[in-house]
Amino acid sequence: MLLIINIIILIHSTKKKLQNLFKKFTYGLFKVLYGRIDGYKDISKISDSKILISEIDNVFKYKIYIIKKARLYTDTINDTAFIHDQKVINGPSFQIRNTNFSKIENNIVFEKGTPRVQKRLKGRVLSLLSGGAGNYNYWHWLFDILPRIKIIAGKFHINQINYFLLPNNSKRFQRETLELMGIPEKKQLSSLKYRHIIADEIVSCDHPYVTNNNATFAIQNLPQWIIDWLRQKLTKNLNLNDSNFPSKFYIDRGDASPNISKLRQIVNEKEVIDKLSKHKFKVIKLSDYSITDQIKLFFNAKKIVGLHGAGFANVMFSNADLKMLELKPSGAGKMCENLAKKCNVGYDCISVVPEKYNLNNQMGHIRIDLNLLEKKL
């Protein structure tokens, strides 16, 4: 038995060594193909490139970066580098460490280069990249990604953009919101497939709400213009009044991504649902609804109960007479509460110290006090 264990350990160790050797070889090969990244510079040092200022509500000012004959590399999660003459461009490039922006010299391309085949694009590319959360998360897609379209709208019409470089466009909610925004599918590029591009012109802009490099605070205090603009753009031409949708419902998060649903749970969810059923709450999964139907669902709702999650972003489509009850781990923060208040809807919560995975953040297994739930209803 000991011999078998030692053989398994040896195989595993050898496999890891071979993988590391292959990575080093690959990184070296791409550095030969595309050159080493040898520093960074400001956009002012690039001819024909410039920074414009987009002002919203006479309060918020955002930089729009317009870079000629540049390339872009992204790891699709934490780092995106805008590159000109083998130098990373300070400003539009970003590198995220522990949810905050780090110094430009920490960008991954200085260590690994640009190890993906470069794809050449003609015309103007608008980068909507914003870190990995926008790849799959509904909340971050709505509030981190889409508002960039508004920021650049004062300087460019959608028809003047040849391609939109997106974190991802494979999710149903991504495709449907882009359609409502009037962005044709033929202009959409997923960074999961287009990780390394070169274009005649690349346009980018500042983050819509992270302005002081404190993402944890910023996400809990979204600018009002983002909420108002999303509501206006996504509800345009919709007949919102619809009696076919339940007025009271519980959001079942069984359709959440496996890693999230595993780490954030209500351990006595069956008892919670039984309690809610007695009060005529319907159990729903938001993924069963199109975006337009989710908008109508929340618009016509009177009472909503659910575990802390991205689906509560839809509260911005609700009427002022909505009463929402958020069930959350104690470290989950006030993003849903503050959004509800900005939308003038009634908010209450049951905040519970997790029994398991108490990571002092928004994850955790919580047990809901059924007597307290009864009082809140």
* Residue 225: DSSP 8-state: H
pLDDT of 357: 62
pLDDT of 361: 66
pLDDT of 16: 67
At residue 197, φ and ψ (nearest 5 deg) are: -130, 160
Q: How far apart are the first and last CA of the chain?
A: 59
Fold annotation for 238-376: Rossmann fold (3.40.50)
Task: Give me the residue spans of the domains in the chain.
Answer: 35-221, 238-376
pLDDT of 47: 87
Q: Which of 250, 343, 251 has its CA nearest to residue 299? A: 343
pLDDT of 243: 85
Tokens read off for 278 = 């007695």
Measured between alpha carbons, how far is 98 from 106 in angstroms, rounded to an integer? 13
Measured between alpha carbons, how far is 102 from 73 in angstroms, rounded to an integer? 17
The tens place of each residue's pLDDT in the chain, 377 residues long, gives 555 655 555 566 666 666 667 677 678 778 888 999 999 999 989 988 999 999 999 999 999 999 999 999 999 999 999 999 999 999 999 999 988 899 999 999 999 999 999 999 999 999 999 987 889 999 999 999 999 999 999 899 999 999 999 999 999 999 999 999 999 999 999 999 999 999 999 999 999 999 888 888 888 899 999 999 999 999 998 889 888 999 999 999 876 665 565 678 899 999 999 999 999 999 999 999 999 999 999 999 999 999 999 999 999 999 989 999 999 999 888 999 999 999 999 999 999 998 876 555 677 889 999 999 999 99
pLDDT of 257: 61
| Strand locations in 206-320 (E) | 248-251, 264-266, 282-284, 303-307
pLDDT of 163: 98
pLDDT of 39: 95
Residue pair 251/305 in contact by the 8 Å Cβ criterion: yes
Tokens read off for 330 = 């104690």
Measured between alpha carbons, how far is 241 from 298 in angstroms, rounded to an integer? 10
pLDDT of 318: 96
**CB hemisphere CA count around 44 (13 angstroms):** 1
pTM (two decimals): 0.91
| Strand locations in 98-245 (E) | 100-101, 119-127, 163-166, 188-190, 196-205
Cβ atoms < 10 Å from Cβ of 202: 28
